[in-house]
Structure 1
């Protein structure tokens, strides 16, 4: 016969092995440290073996603990798979989905999609975080992330490309009427350029000219801001030329409140991916979001002003 306490002990054991301490495991499980410790002690007594080496300063698995952890992970994965299979038979996605997306891009292009999915699927629970850091999805329990840039640390993850970020030189019509329009990259030195500071330092503009030569332009200006949306605001207000992500200025370019500068000049292209921890089968709640992202961003990105 199976009992709930047996499974509680196994879950407490696995969480403690993953977290490396009773305290951290207790925080993950929403229990007290004492409750976790007692649950594991009962499990050890039932198994007739010690699973952890305990000292006042450290906690580590015994050889038996290492082998038992591997078996427990396999068993729990089977249970998760069985649950996912049942959920996949339903037409309605349900359950909690933790998502982390870039701050500005996420708010402008992904949040509206997620809000629409939330309205259409009342059993779907979304916990959405906004951050530009490179999160460890598996370690932090994040079900889905969206990342702009190279995937240098994506082992154990499934990646689905959603598009490309390129930067765009642009300015307000009022500024161009007042200062003239640059004809070459070198002309930028004679213009007011609005820079974005990163870690306290102004970022240069890495541009590829019409001949295919890559050049980093050391832009200096009397107006430097540490957020790209603030740079966009300053450019819209006519203070100078900015080098901004195409997705950030697409609406203004379409409306004519901004104009492209040096359209033959290109910039580094950064891939945009949706990422999630590898798992089979893919839970319906996750598949619904991934499918919606793919439908929105492919084959042509919605911010592509040439589309």
Structure 2
């Protein structure tokens, strides 16, 4: 265990090395020159090495002193960083926080969290945008982004995992009663599939094989939408089979408006992350939002709890 006196000696040593002498170091620390000199002398005695070559004209680090100085600077920097983190936790979030969210997921699951935070911290102002466009938060001045999908290899953003989006095949009981339930993925070709369309093309559905590798299955359907809420409405309305995220249909599954189809077939999932521009310290306003989302979404997301 390093004593308080030892830490004082290290601080005096680093300040003397930075200042090039005991006089300036003493002024910076608000101590006497003799006090600084004694602290360094006691440190040298404990270490059993000379840290400075001191003459009337020269005050320079020895080889051992240089190595010890570099190590001390790293340690003191870590201590300062740890203290800054604690201070950040104590500070109340304030000012404007610009947040960008995916439209449907953000409105259903993140906005309620933000509203609770805004009520708890009246000095915090929230500016929330909902878009499915993949924005550049640095270029567009966004403080915090919630993103579903694989991340780019970017060193400009910090990421915190919030969970994983998982999708399931589902249909209404009325549809399955009339058309029967498929027993394999190939059977889907004979069913009405409700698809996500983009640019005149239906996006494929992604599944996992026995080895856990992802593969795409092309699907075609009479109904095509570019919004997951509309696909969900059509599925509940008995129009066919859909592949939808559990966070979107949790209530419908629980209350029996939708039932799972081919539940033994694994689907490909996508990670959910909070992202913010890289900085040495996370600001209190970002920290409070990210910590609250982690608390609510992990280890099991609220939409998957008590699911039928």
User: What TM-score do you get using the length of structure 2 for normalisation?
Assistant: 0.68
CA distance in 2 between counterparts of 1:257 and 1:208 reads: 26
CA distance in 2 between counterparts of 1:252 and 1:154 reads: 38
- SS of corresponding position for 1:267: coil
CA 1:153/1:199 → structure 2, altered by over 3 Å: closer, same or farther?
Answer: farther
CA 1:213/1:277 → structure 2, altered by over 3 Å: closer, same or farther?
Answer: closer
CA distance in 2 between counterparts of 1:85 and 1:206 reads: 41
2:171 aligned residue:
171
Deviations 1:191-215 (A, max 9, x none): 1111110232111212235675754
Aligned 8 A contact 1:181 1:261 in 2: yes
CA distance in 1 between counterparts of 2:247 and 2:218 reads: 24
**More displaced, 237-246 or 205-214?**
205-214
CA distance in 1 between counterparts of 2:86 and 2:263 reads: 52
- SS of corresponding position for 2:262: coil
For residue 269 of structure 1, report the CA deviation from its aligned partner: 1.4
Matched, 1:259 2:259: yes
CA 1:185/1:89 → structure 2, altered by over 3 Å: closer, same or farther?
Answer: closer
Deviations 1:84-131 (A, max 9, x none): 999847553211101111111101110010011111111110010111
1:128 aligned residue:
128
CA distance in 1 between counterparts of 2:293 and 2:86 reads: 24
Aligned length: 225
CA 1:87/1:209 → structure 2, altered by over 3 Å: closer, same or farther?
Answer: closer
Aligned 8 A contact 1:87 1:283 in 2: no
Q: How does 1:199-278 map to 2 (within 5 A)?
A: 199-209=199-209, 214-278=214-278
For residue 186 of structure 1, report the CA deviation from its aligned partner: 1.1
2:303 aligned residue:
303
1:142 aligned residue:
142
- In structure 1, runs of 5+ residues without a counterpart are 1-80
CA distance in 1 between counterparts of 2:89 and 2:152 reads: 35
1:294 aligned residue:
294
- SS of corresponding position for 2:117: helix
Aligned 8 A contact 2:196 2:203 in 1: yes
- SS of corresponding position for 2:163: strand
CA distance in 2 between counterparts of 1:234 and 1:202 reads: 16
2:65 aligned residue:
none
1:197 aligned residue:
197
- In structure 2, runs of 5+ residues without a counterpart are 1-80
Aligned 8 A contact 2:182 2:261 in 1: yes
CA 1:293/1:196 → structure 2, altered by over 3 Å: closer, same or farther?
Answer: same
1:52 aligned residue:
none
CA distance in 1 between counterparts of 2:235 and 2:249 reads: 10
User: What TM-score do you get using the length of structure 1 for normalisation?
Assistant: 0.68
